[in-house]
Structure 1
Amino acid sequence: MMQFKEAIASERTALIFLLKLLILLCVVKTIFFIYNYQNNLGWEINSSREALRIFSWAVYYDLVCVALCALPFLLMTLLPIKNRVLLSVAAACSISLIVLTLILNIADIFYFPFHRQRADADLFYVLRNPFKNSGAVVWWILAGMVVFAILSATYFWKQYRLQMKAQQNAAPFLFSSLICCVVVASLFIGQSKKIIPTRPLTDVSSLQLPLTQNSLHSFLYSVYRSRESVIPQQQYMTSAEQADLFSPYKSNVRVANLPKNIVLFIMESVPYEFFDSSSKYKPLLPFLDSLKNHATYYNNAFSYSYSSNKGITAMLTGLPTITDIPLYHSSFANINKTDIGKLLEKRNYRSSFFIGDNYDDFGFAKCCNWTGIQHYYCMQDVPGYKKMEKHTMGLQDEYVLDFMQQQLQKTAQPFFATQYNISTHYPNDLTAAFALQTRNLSLPPAMKSMMYYDACLQSFFKQASIQPWYQNTVFLFCSDHWARPDPDHTTDDMVNSFRIPILVFEPGSNERRTVTNLVSQFDIMNTVLAYAGIKDSITSYGTSLLDAADTNRIVFTKINTAVYQAIDKNYVLGFNAEEGKALYCYEYKTDTARRSNLIKINNPSTALLDKTLKAFLQTASHQYLHKN
């Protein structure tokens, strides 16, 4: 016993350092909890028992990350030969991991409201964009991160020098190393699958999950799994049962008699509330409001996920992304799919894509090439772009729409053109003229930027309406994902946070109609092909909006890496694809607070949602893993 106490005393420096690291991560997580508290319904913590479960998992994963960071140095102290250079290299490795851990966890405090999950491999594909054409604020943030990294590394280097000094004439840090090895090994021991960042879902809700996670763990696991399908291939039912419930092989029933020109407006971060006349977040949109009076509006439309890369994939391919990284960047890019551009080309269509970003930001140039779209136009293609006003993300919409107008005038009919706007993307920068025009309006930046986009569209349509191609054109509007209309006063919700506007306008039809049946982002590709007169067999998880509406439609959404949802006109069911089991079911129209979990109550509607979602997931995982 005396020897044990002496061993502990000899490792006092290392143990205190590990404890300090753990406390520091707990402090960062507390800030994360407080900063995101309001927008996440108070994290739905209703009892001390729930709080204890969250706290236990949070401390566990923070402890795992502390151990992982400390191991390179601690293991080096166990070598029989004392080499100061090797110890210094090992200390540098540990310091690098510690600084990375702090940066990821601190960044997630502020990035979480947009990404809605902890850091993952998708960071590799979005980080470069804000710095390509950014304002001073972004560069100040970058400078702050660099300074923080340097100061942190300096501080931790001093701490490790103390440990090296303490270890120089003493026994190796055997006890500290053993503790860290056991903690890290616990991720892999047993059947609990703690290595999976979503493991706490057995004890906490999907909304509470980010509180239990550490960003380093979720990031490293995502990078490790980035070349794999995130969803395990599970056989929930026979292939015949699966096909009966859900099939990705579709044919359009109703198609246009004469192929139409098709223009798709992908609206960045535009929520349903901006089109809902009963919402207090409905901005004044003179053009789009007037357009609704002559169009078909779908007021029960849903996005697939929270992110742009998954949204564009859903719209242009009709496929769900079940990888952490964009599907078109992943090893599954050769998935069996319908190439919208190539299929349209066979019908003599010209296809093009317009965006104000830098070339291939977010990989959208790759996505266009991947889907067979012939021409990709970005900021650098717009003549005189260097002298035009910029948004943090790229060129303001008015210039891109004007350039698009010029290109369409030179394009032979029929054509398919897509414009992906950026003005409504955070931080919602406005042109100087429009900022001056709206300076006295007490509105959130998101609402003002939507008003700016509306004005840009009005100018585009004014010019388009006198073009010879206009009357034979259909215009589709669809948001890539929901976003908070007012970040300071709106919260996330498992249903409402996926509601988006979808609008279809045909100048030659001039028909006002509101469709209340559920529709999805996945329906866009099918609809484009239907307006092109294509009935061919299509691989898609959606249905053409021209076909008869399904009053019992079930749509699918993705909450995070593991949790998927099935939504019908009354219920929402959440399902953990990693564990292969349902988590919750709510009657969302009446239970607005989402307090009565019906998952354990026998209900035909719940059972159907569960089975259909399993068929959806089984179909997706099989399609990803088996090309043919």
Structure 2
Amino acid sequence: MNIELFEQFTFKIFIGGLLFDLAVIAYINCIFLILHIIPGNFKYRPLYQTTLKITFFAVNLLLISTNFIDIIYYRFTGRRSTFGLITATGMENDIIRLIPSYLKEYWYVGVSFLLTSIVLWMLMPNPKDKIVINNLTKKNYLKKCSYGIALLLVILIIGRGGFRKKPLRIVDAIEYGEVNNAGLVLNTPFSILKTLFKKEGNTFTHYYDSKELSKTYNPIISIKSNQAPLRKNVVIIILESFGNENVGRGQTPFLDSLITKSYYFKNGFANGKVSIDAVPSIISSIPSLMNDSYISSSYALNKVHSLPLIFKEQGYTTSFFHGAFNGSQNFDKYAKAAGFDEYYGKDQYQGKDAFDGKWGIFDEEFLQFYATKLGTFKKPFFSSIFTISSHIPYIIPERYQNKFPKGTTDIHESIAYADHSLRKFFDTAKKQKWYKNTLFVISSDHTSSGGDRETDQTNIGKFRIPILFFDPSNPALTGVSEKNFQQIDIMPSILDYLHIKTDMVSFGKSYKSKENFVVYYLQGTYHYIQDDYYVSFSDNKVIGLYNWKKDVLLNNNLMKIDKVRAQKAEKFLKTYIQSFNERVTNNQLVI
């Protein structure tokens, strides 16, 4: 169903997938095997057998259902779901509200699951003949015990993935195909079970001592300037799912025109694949380098010198807006932890009825509410808004049905509506006194599931997003930057542009910096771009090196040809990862 999301399917991928399937089947059903092979005639009682049968069916069906969910969810996250992802704090209410829409739009997945459950039940043995129970001798007990031990050993070997040094892990999926095909090799129950009791964050690896660590990479940034700080308002607009695959194709005429009047980062990248990764990346310069999202982890309450706190030190008023239900994706709690003065969600919205029936307030009305509300704040102000209408189920107001181009993917019509809403926001903002003294920063939260070009599905394309800085009072802040730029670079860049002196911990860099790298992470693999080269890093080593400008589909691995570059990239990534893990774990995200 998702063939366009993967590279070529091979027999090796199938064998790898089978290995992971058998492993999780062994894990799940080991207990049922034990309960069937324990010596003793009590096993043959009808109640015992019926209980085992129903429990076996329920447990296996529950875990099989996660595979069906990921048929669709994978399109949005780019990875198999883990325990941390499905239990993220703040997501439960969103999931409950959206389930009816998912079932309606993707009805064929629900039907397929129902048919699978019926077939599974029908295939399960249901002996009609009454079992004849014989008295067991000591020899019978010994024989059955030896069979039981032999079967358990076989199950353990299968669960480990064969005769391996270490039990099968999520990262081992790359042995059977390219990184982009890991989702095909893995299955969701395996990913969930492997992360069920896993500590939040990544496996901590100590590569270097502190001296060597700081010599290669130091996340402490000093913003210095001889000029007085610019007392400009700052507005950050985070656009839901506005990945590069949706921009410049006729759906976003306003954003396309705004890009020509802005300082546009042509090579912009998201730091994650879900919305809850974007907010800490943009607001606090904290990348998403853990298996669980930072915003829903126990580290979310770490001390952070984020933008709202820095701006409050400068005398700014601060606010965060999100048109969805209050509590959605834990944004309200994170906004408070990050230091925002005020949070405005669906409950605080004032205006005509504009509830979309599922998710929150339509973008047009909520952005108008936002534009008006900004005018009431004490100047200067720092504010951020997160749009929602281009989020699945892609609902647009009835009055706009068939008014926008449908495009080539499911999301395109709602992208066009969101772009129209953005235009209306700027039309209103232009009429207000605060407008000309405001720096606008626009970034997508992540890419969408709907990329229909080959380049959209590579490990580069899956993270490419538009990022732009627009200052209506500064015509010099225009042009196209070729610099590799990511969401965590936004915070230091804003402070540098406004000449706000500060020392801070940031895993990004200012737009004025000579450094030219980005780092992002997805399910066991780190992705690193330095200049024209892309590196994938997994299991403590570099597994791929590509010239992503010339080799856009990442087909030509240069690891063996350019060993020096690969070694240099590996050292940088190890120091970057260790520095992040140490600082997050030890609550050292401030100086």
* TM-score bucket (shorter structure): 0.7 to 0.9
Amino acid at match of 1:268: E
Q: Which residue of 1 aligns with 2:261?
A: 294
* Counterpart Cα distance in 1 of 2:6 and 2:261: 37
Does residue 1:258 correspond to 2:221, yes or no?
no
Amino acid at match of 2:238: I
C-alpha contact 1:264 1:419 (8 A) present in aligned 2:
yes
TM-score w.r.t. structure 2 length? 0.87
Does residue 1:329 correspond to 2:302, yes or no?
no
* Counterpart Cα distance in 2 of 1:328 and 1:183: 38
C-alpha contact 1:336 1:623 (8 A) present in aligned 2:
no
* Counterpart Cα distance in 2 of 1:109 and 1:165: 42
C-alpha contact 2:454 2:553 (8 A) present in aligned 1:
no
Q: Which residue of 2 aligns with 1:123?
A: 86
SS state of the match for residue 118, structure 1? coil
* Counterpart Cα distance in 2 of 1:36 and 1:177: 41
* Counterpart Cα distance in 2 of 1:565 and 1:436: 40
C-alpha contact 1:304 1:557 (8 A) present in aligned 2:
yes
SS state of the match for residue 410, structure 1? coil
Q: 1:556 aligns with which of 494, 514, 519?
A: 519
1:374-393 to structure 2, matched below 5 A, reads 374-383=341-350, 387-390=353-356, 392-393=358-359
Q: Deviations over 1:528-549 (max 9, x none)?
A: 444565322111111233xx24
1:80-229 to structure 2, matched below 5 A, reads 80=40, 82=42, 84=45, 85-121=47-83, 122-125=85-88, 126=91, 128-132=93-97, 138=103, 145=110, 148=113, 152=117, 156=121, 159=124, 161-162=126-127, 175=147, 178-179=150-151, 182-184=154-156, 187=159, 192-225=165-198, 227-229=199-201
SS state of the match for residue 320, structure 2? strand
Q: Deviations over 1:158-198 (max 9, x none)?
A: 83654996696698697478435533455459763334222
SS state of the match for residue 32, structure 2? helix
Q: Deviations over 1:82-117 (max 9, x none)?
A: 164455444443222211221011222222222211
Q: Which residue of 2 aligns with 1:29?
A: none
SS state of the match for residue 82, structure 1? helix
Distance change in 2, residues 1:143/1:96 (3 Å) = farther
C-alpha contact 2:103 2:110 (8 A) present in aligned 1:
no
Distance change in 2, residues 1:606/1:461 (3 Å) = same
C-alpha contact 1:74 1:177 (8 A) present in aligned 2:
no
* Counterpart Cα distance in 2 of 1:168 and 1:318: 68
Distance change in 2, residues 1:97/1:329 (3 Å) = same
Does residue 1:59 correspond to 2:59, yes or no?
no
Task: Structure 1: state its 5+ residue gaps.
Answer: 1-34, 46-50, 277-281
* Counterpart Cα distance in 2 of 1:414 and 1:306: 33
TM superposition shift of 1:39: 2.4
C-alpha contact 2:451 2:457 (8 A) present in aligned 1:
no
Q: Which residue of 1 aligns with 2:586?
A: 626
* Counterpart Cα distance in 1 of 2:122 and 2:582: 49
Q: Deviations over 1:272-331 (max 9, x none)?
A: 24444xxxxx22534323322322111111112222222222112211223322212223
Distance change in 2, residues 1:620/1:103 (3 Å) = same
Q: Which residue of 2 aligns with 1:246?
A: 217
Q: 1:433 aligns with which of 372, 377, 399?
A: 399
* Counterpart Cα distance in 2 of 1:430 and 1:347: 39
C-alpha contact 1:259 1:533 (8 A) present in aligned 2:
no
TM superposition shift of 1:475: 0.3
Amino acid at match of 1:565: H
Does residue 1:591 correspond to 2:551, yes or no?
yes
Q: 2:527 aligns with which of 550, 565, 574?
A: 565
Q: Which residue of 2 aligns with 1:498?
A: 463
* Counterpart Cα distance in 2 of 1:70 and 1:520: 44
* Backbone CA RMSD of aligned residues: 3.2
* Counterpart Cα distance in 2 of 1:164 and 1:99: 27
Alignment coverage as a number of residue pairs: 572
Does residue 1:394 correspond to 2:353, yes or no?
no
Q: Which residue of 1 aligns with 2:536?
A: 574
Distance change in 2, residues 1:61/1:151 (3 Å) = closer
Q: 2:436 aligns with which of 462, 466, 471?
A: 471
Task: Structure 2: state its 5+ residue gaps.
Answer: none
Q: Which residue of 2 aligns with 1:522?
A: 488
TM-score w.r.t. structure 1 length? 0.82
Q: Which residue of 2 aligns with 1:270?
A: 242
Q: Deviations over 1:1-31 (max 9, x none)?
A: xxxxxxxxxxxxxxxxxxxxxxxxxxxxxxx
**Percent of pairs with identical residues:** 23
* Counterpart Cα distance in 2 of 1:233 and 1:382: 46
C-alpha contact 1:269 1:482 (8 A) present in aligned 2:
yes
1:351-366 to structure 2, matched below 5 A, reads 351-366=318-333
Q: Which residue of 1 aligns with 2:204?
A: 232
